């Protein structure tokens, strides 16, 4: 299929760093008599006039030797993964540090699935086979980069037409059986591009929902994470819930309207550096019973820190009524909150509808958790406190006194310690609170 001006459009859409690498790859392929293509999301986004996020290049031939030529020509180096037939040309240090620029080249390949949900076995193949292994027609289009027909599209599944119609369509009826994570991918494209699953594809997704059971927690979590990085993920989650996919991976979808409001608030108000996907997940967990949350976390196998933060949400929610008590002092709030992960506290600050509790969560996160006494252990030793548990208790009580405004300066603290040492009961009240 011919679509005029796609090559100039590609050139214009590439970053200034990537453009010379793609040109060098085209020259190298011509010299090796290899055929080179842009495939997947980049072609789709070019046709839609959307910015390119990354560019996947496929060669019918040897990706490693082609990469070496590109590296020679452009002064980069090659990281080859021969087992997968992929290679990366790297410039200015490893890309993982964020300073480098890289071009990914992959040999065209074919994939077979031994059983539903298994990772595919990969073998070298033709471009046609490479397109046929893909998820949706809109991603199964190739733009030819080498003569004789450079600039033309290879579109064996009618992807261009589906792009124009705004349809997400699988390539064959067993697509979701082979890989049920594609159900999540389909919804992600629907939301991001404003597309809709083609009706037969949607009924296949509903029919094959049970194949999600065969997908590992890590893979489901990865798809979920990608969805949560999209612009308004509550829409995608609602759609997954409608199809039955969310519940199937252990995430019941309660209270959609409340979640929509809270997701939007979190987006507007999240502090810089906050991990929005983690807060979204926390909000989701907030709507669940403790049993549901525990089952979801078991299924999704989060990394330890995230898992702990999400596990804290339910127990923290159970403390919010106490946190709202009008007579609660700052030190007591700190004792209540300091055992919870900051991400859980942040989540509950968004989730909680009680103004007093919310304000204490905010102050804890912004201020109280950093409060320390001016005196340290050495100072206390100088004032005559022996090493041992008493030292720790005094330091905690001093911090509490500072949180509650009973001491404001180093001098105040010193007299406070002297009073405490003068008699066992005169060290001021303990503000500690047991959990």
Closer residue to ligand ATP in complex, CB, 135/234: 135
Residues 33-52: x where in contact with ligand ATP by CB under 6 A, - otherwise, as a string: -------xx-----------
Among 35, 160, 169, 182, interactor with ligand ATP by CB under 6 A: 182
Contact region with ligand ATP (CB under 6 A), list: 145-153, 174-182, 319-327, 377-385: 174-182
Q: Which two tokens stand for residue 367?
A: 């201020």
Among 137, 146, 181, 201, interactor with ligand ATP by CB under 6 A: 181
Taking the complex as a whole, the smallest distance from the CB of residue 294 to ligand ATP amounts, in Å, to 29
Closer residue to ligand ATP in complex, CB, 48/356: 48
225 part of the interface to ligand ATP, by CB under 6 A: no
137 part of the interface to ligand ATP, by CB under 6 A: no
Among 134, 169, 219, 262, interactor with ligand ATP by CB under 6 A: 134
Taking the complex as a whole, the smallest distance from the CB of residue 128 to ligand ATP amounts, in Å, to 14
Applying CB under 6 A, what is the total number of residues that bind ligand ATP? 12
**Under rule CB under 6 A, which residues in 332-391 are in contact with ligand ATP?**
none
Closer residue to ligand ATP in complex, CB, 54/213: 54
Taking the complex as a whole, the smallest distance from the CB of residue 53 to ligand ATP amounts, in Å, to 5
53 part of the interface to ligand ATP, by CB under 6 A: yes
Among 139, 331, 397, 406, interactor with ligand ATP by CB under 6 A: 139
Closer residue to ligand ATP in complex, CB, 179/190: 179
Contact region with ligand ATP (CB under 6 A), list: 98-106, 133-141, 148-156, 414-422: 133-141
Contact region with ligand ATP (CB under 6 A), list: 11-19, 181-189, 213-221, 290-298: 181-189
Residues that bind ligand ATP (CB under 6 A): 40-41, 53-54, 56, 134-135, 139, 179, 181-182, 185
């Amino acid at each position: 299929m011919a679509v005029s001006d796609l090559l100039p459009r590609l050139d214009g859409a590439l970053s200034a760093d990537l453009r010379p690498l793609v040109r060098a790859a085209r020259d190298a392929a011509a010299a090796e008599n290899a055929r080179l293509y842009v495939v997947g999301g980049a072609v789709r986004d070019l046709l839609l006039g959307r910015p390119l996020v990354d560019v996947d290049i496929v060669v019918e031939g040897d990706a490693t030797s082609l990469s070496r030529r590109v590296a020679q020509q452009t002064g980069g180096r090659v990281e080859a993964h021969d087992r997968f037939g992929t290679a990366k040309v790297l410039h200015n240090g490893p890309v993982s540090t964020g300073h480098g620029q890289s071009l990914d080249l992959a040999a065209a390949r074919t994939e077979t699935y031994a059983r539903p949900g298994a990772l595919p076995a990969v073998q070298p193949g033709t471009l046609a086979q490479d397109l046929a292994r893909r998820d949706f027609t809109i991603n199964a289009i190739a733009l030819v980069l080498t003569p004789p027909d450079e600039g033309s599209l290879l579109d064996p599944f009618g992807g261009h037409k589906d792009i124009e119609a705004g349809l997400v369509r699988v390539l064959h009826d067993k697509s979701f059986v082979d890989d049920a994570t594609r159900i999540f991918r389909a919804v992600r494209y629907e939301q991001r591009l404003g597309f809709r699953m083609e009706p037969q594809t949607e009924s296949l997704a509903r029919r094959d929902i049970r194949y999600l059971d065969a997908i590992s927690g890590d893979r489901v979590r990865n798809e979920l994470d990608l969805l949560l990085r999209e612009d308004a993920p509550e829409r995608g989650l609602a759609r997954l819930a409608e199809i039955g996919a969310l519940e199937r991976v252990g995430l019941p979808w309660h209270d959609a309207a409340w979640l929509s409001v809270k997701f939007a608030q979190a987006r507007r108000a999240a502090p810089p550096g906050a991990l929005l996907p983690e807060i979204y997940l926390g909000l989701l967990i907030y709507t669940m019973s403790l049993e549901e949350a525990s089952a979801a976390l078991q299924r999704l196998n989060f990394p330890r820190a995230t898992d702990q933060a999400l596990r804290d949400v339910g127990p923290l929610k159970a403390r919010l009524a106490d946190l709202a008590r009008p007579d609660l002092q700052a030190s007591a709030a700190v004792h209540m909150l300091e055992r919870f992960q900051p991400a859980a506290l942040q989540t509950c600050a968004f989730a909680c509808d009680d103004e007093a509790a919310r304000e204490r969560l905010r102050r804890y996160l912004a201020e109280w958790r950093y409060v320390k006494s001016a005196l340290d252990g050495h100072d206390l030793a100088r004032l005559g406190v022996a090493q041992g548990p008493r030292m720790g208790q005094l330091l905690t009580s001093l911090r509490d006194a500072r949180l509650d405004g009973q001491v404001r300066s180093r001098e105040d603290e010193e007299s406070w310690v002297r009073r405490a040492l003068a008699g066992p009961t005169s060290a001021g009240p303990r503000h500690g609170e047991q959990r």
